[in-house]
């Protein structure tokens, strides 16, 4: 069974069909790398806030290793 957030996704069969789930996709595309980087930074900041600045706890909240957390924190200057 698929998670609710993706259960309704019908994949390529709806690509380009007006009214499909791709109808809200920007015509000129998206800067995927930028969007991913912004999402990473938002999650890191939110986890740090919730963990009271304790990086080990923030990594646990994000369900990533502390080493991965350090990598992302350095990448985003946090």
- Tell me the CATH number for domain 31-78: 1.10.10
* Type and span of the H or E element at 62: helix 55-62
Across the chain, mean pLDDT equals 83
Band of the pLDDT at 27, cuts 50, 70, 90? confident
Does this model's pTM top 0.75? My answer is no
pLDDT at 9 over 60: no
C-alpha–C-alpha distance, residues 60 and 53, integer Å: 13
* Residue 61, Cβ density class (10 Å: 0-12 exposed, 13-18 middle, ≥19 buried): middle
Worst-scoring range by mean pLDDT, 28-32, 56-60, 73-77? 28-32
The two three-digit tokens of residue 67, written as one number: 């080493």
């Amino acid at each position: 069974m698929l998670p609710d957030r993706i259960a309704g996704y019908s994949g390529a069969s709806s690509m380009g069909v007006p009214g499909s789930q791709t109808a809200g996709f920007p015509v000129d595309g998206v800067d995927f790398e930028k969007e991913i980087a912004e999402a990473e930074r938002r999650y890191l900041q939110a986890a740090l806030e919730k963990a009271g600045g304790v990086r080990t706890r923030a990594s646990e909240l994000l369900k990533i290793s502390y080493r991965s957390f350090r990598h992302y924190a350095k990448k985003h200057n946090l």
